[in-house]
Amino acid sequence: MRSVYSVSALTLVSRILGLVRDRVMLSAFGTGLESDAFVVAFRIPNLLRRLVAEGSLAAAFVPVFTQRLREDPAQARKAFCAAASYTALLTTVITAVCMLYATEITEVFAPGFIAGSEKSILTTQLTQIMFPYVVLVSLLALSSGVLNSLGVFAIPAAAPALLNIATIVGVLTLKDSDSASIRIAAWSVLVGGMFALLPQLWKLSKLGFSLYPANPFGSEAVSQLLRLMLPSVVSASAYQLMIFVNTMLASMLAEGSSSYLFYADRVFQFPLGVFSLAIATAVLPQLSRHAADKNHTGMKESLIEALRWVTLINIPATAGLLLLGEPIVSVLFKTGATNEHGVHMIALALSAFSLGLWPISCQSVLIRAFIAKKKTTIPAIISVIAISANIVLAISLMGPPNAGTDQILGQCVAWLYATMPLGQLGHVGLALAGTIASVLSLVMSYSLLSTVGIHLPLRPFLKPLASTILATLAMSAFIWGLLSMQLSDLALLCVGVPTSILIFGTLASVLGIPEARTLTSRITCLVYKKRLG
């Protein structure tokens, strides 16, 4: 939990800077043509980053590195350099190919952008500018995994903040909200990637893990990494693929739909990154050590503890996003370029996303258990099923595409809506589809844990879960009453958020939830020490 506190605190700083970045972007570009182009262009390398780097490469390398570190640190150093060389080579080749075929890739990711249109051309150009970011951030993710295995969590957690700072500075230098200015924002993404990587390489060098070129071919560590990585590309990146499907289908809907989903996802990622992914990040090295020692009891206890913390945090967070979604979006994103309609559309998507907060968070923890056991085929199959369900649900709920969509996929979707009664929820249907698919993925993952020797009983969760729901209901009643008062959005959040947290924390502690008492005790000690000091 000390590791979680460190990761959470620095991720919180990064998320706040990320929201500042989004606010600055909205002030400059609104939710129009330039914004849609940037969102789609950034999604393309960002998705590849999650698939190749954070979603598979880094996660798969942690158990490989941990095993060698416990046996022979010298072999661990060689494994790291070989894996880094392989990563640099692979991502450079992918980047070169994707930059060469950027036009075709844009048509795949955004079939609703009419080929040859201003929006399509701008998206292609921005994609070519930002794609080398994949190389930098893949090395960043691999270095983060090594540092986490060595017990260093602060520097990797601080890296995204540097990326956000670079983007903010880049956007603030803009003079006009046009296609030339949006290119400066794209270049700032690359600069941020370089600034984020350098501190990690420095820290690794201080720990005796200097990065140098090594021949990755014939390396046993790289071969083992590839065996774990290939199915992990699918299993650990299901959520990102769902976002990709949403981006592609959103391009067929009304203008602004891609931006609505993007900014709703940014708010949704705040609690997901600050708490849930911090817990999942911190638990993976521990699970890998237990797996290397064949300590099944330790694995079960670590999983139970992680899932209980995820439950304690994410159930009230879900209620908060549902009830306070529109005021949050208004305070964060309402600018001269974003009107009431835009705020409402973003808030609707946020409500649909927020229902998936708890299942996605639990799934991210369970995935780490499969990775630590080096059993990645089963979660890969589960993810294929979940992704397929997401695609079917998204097409069924989104509504008919724009009349100007001339791509084959758009024509197929239009034919489906012309021949059978389906949903008409627009971009909200796309967000809801991902939520439903994440629930399906969680159920399947939990059911199949026993196939890799992990028997996770439900009983330790039932009482804390019931207590968490009860405390959340009381907190929600307070928020509901506050909403009936004629307060400004900012005043509503300034009063409602801290008071709601206090109400929930107090009730959760009174109801006997151990994690709530631990957290309350730690906060009390920190406050007491500060007063004494």
- The per-residue pLDDT for range 184-195, each reduced to its tens digit, is 888 888 888 888
pLDDT at 52: 63
Is 178's pLDDT higher than 80? no
pLDDT of residue 404 exceeding 60, the answer is no
Distance, CA of 402 to CA of 405 (rounded, Å): 6
Residues 216, 178: Cα–Cα separation, whole Å:
44
Scan for tokens 């350098």, then name that residue.
198
Q: What is the CA radius of gyration of the chain?
A: 23
Are the C-beta atoms of 64 and 79 separated by less than 8 Å? yes
Co-location of 173 and 316 in the same domain: yes
Residues 393 and 507 in one domain: no
Rounded Cα–Cα distance for residues 119 and 107 (Å): 11
Please tell me the distance from the alpha carbon of residue 113 to that of residue 255, in angstroms, as a whole number.
10
For residue 54, what pLDDT is reported? 57
* 278 and 243 in a common domain: yes
- Residues 101-106 have a mean pLDDT of 85
Residue-wise over 279-309: b if at least 16 C-beta within 10 A, else e? bbbbbbbbbbbbbbeeeeeebbebbebbbbb
pLDDT tens-place string over residues 432-472: 888 888 899 889 888 888 887 788 888 878 888 888 999 99
CA distance 161 to 237: 22
Same-domain status, 520 and 400 = no
The rounded percent of the chain whose pLDDT value lies above 90 is 5
Residue 9 · residue 278 · CB < 8 Å? no
- Confidence (pLDDT) at 419: 61
The answer to whether the CB of 112 falls within 8 A of the CB of 256 is no
Last residue of a domain, one of 428, 456, 484: 456
Distance CA 58, CA 144 (A): 8
Whether the predicted pLDDT of 411 surpasses 80: no
The one-letter code for the residue type at 290 is H
- Residues 349 and 497 occupy one common structural domain: no
Reading phi first (left if > 0) and then psi (alpha if -120 to 50, else beta), residue 210 is in: beta
At position 414, the amino acid (one-letter code) is A
- Domain limits for position 186: 2-456
pLDDT category at 402 given cuts 50, 70, 90 is low
**440 and 505 share one domain:** no
In the prediction, which pLDDT does 275 show? 77
Tell me what pLDDT residue 317 has. Answer: 92
Instruction: Encode pLDDT of 39-90 as tens digits.
Output: 778 877 777 666 665 556 666 777 778 778 877 888 888 888 888 888 888 8
Percent of the chain with pLDDT over 70: 81
Query: Which of residues 456, 487, 502 is at a domain's end?
Result: 456
**pLDDT attached to residue 150:** 81
Could you report the per-residue pLDDT of 353-364, keeping only the tens digit for each?
Answer: 999 899 988 888
Same domain, 248 and 317: yes
Please give the residue that has the higher pLDDT: either 465 or 531: 465
Matching residue, tokens 């009482």: 463
* Range of weakest confidence among 1-5, 86-90, 254-258, 295-299: 1-5
Residue 316: its pLDDT value, please? Answer: 92
Four-residue CA torsion sign, 353, 357, 359, 360: positive
CA dihedral 294, 296, 297, 303 (to 10 degrees): 120
d(CA 508, CA 467): 7
Instruction: Return the pLDDT at 421.
Output: 57
Give the model's pLDDT for residue 318.
Answer: 93
Q: Between these two residues, 385 and 54, which has the higher pLDDT value?
A: 385
Torsional class of 530: left (φ above 0), alpha (ψ -120 to 50), beta (otherwise): alpha
Query: Residue 2 above 90 pLDDT?
Result: no
Residues 385 and 519 in one domain: no
- pLDDT over 90 at 473, yes or no: yes
H-type alpha helices, 173-251: 179-206, 220-235, 238-250
What is the structure's pLDDT at 355?
Answer: 92
Supply the DSSP string of 106-118, one letter for each residue. Answer: HHHH-TTS-TTSH
**Is residue 394 located within the same domain as residue 532?**
no
Q: Taking 90 as the threshold, does the pLDDT of residue 408 lie above it?
A: no
126/107 same-domain check: yes
Distances from the Cα of 76 to the Cαs of 142, 155, 333, in angstroms?
13, 20, 46
Quick check: helix, strand or coil at residue 198? helix
DSSP-H helix ranges across 293-376: 296-333, 340-354, 357-372
Are both 197 and 110 inside the same structural domain?
Answer: yes
Residue 241 has what pLDDT?
64
**345 and 477 inside one domain:** no
Can you tell me the distance from the alpha carbon of 261 to that of 33, in angstroms, rounded to the nearest whole number?
15
Average pLDDT, the chain: 79
Average pLDDT over residues 150-158: 78
Could you identify the residue written with the tokens 């005021």? 327
In this predicted structure, the answer to whether residue 341 has a pLDDT above a threshold of 90 is no
Cα separations (Å) of 488 from 86, 200, 335, 495, 502? 54, 43, 15, 11, 21
Give dist(CA 160, CA 137) in Å, integer. 10
Last residue of a domain, one of 425, 456, 487: 456
- Evaluate whether 491 touches 483 at the Cβ level (below 8 Å): no
Give just the sign of the alpha carbon dihedral 204, 209, 211, 217. Answer: negative
Counted domains in the chain:
2
User: DSSP code of 400?
Assistant: P
Higher pLDDT, 191 or 278: 191
Predicted local confidence at residue 470, as pLDDT:
92
Whether the predicted pLDDT of 529 surpasses 90? no
Between 243 and 393, the higher pLDDT residue = 393
Span 288-308, pLDDT tens digits: 788 777 777 888 888 888 888
pLDDT at 179 over 60: no
Q: What tokens appear for 358 in the block? A: 């708890």
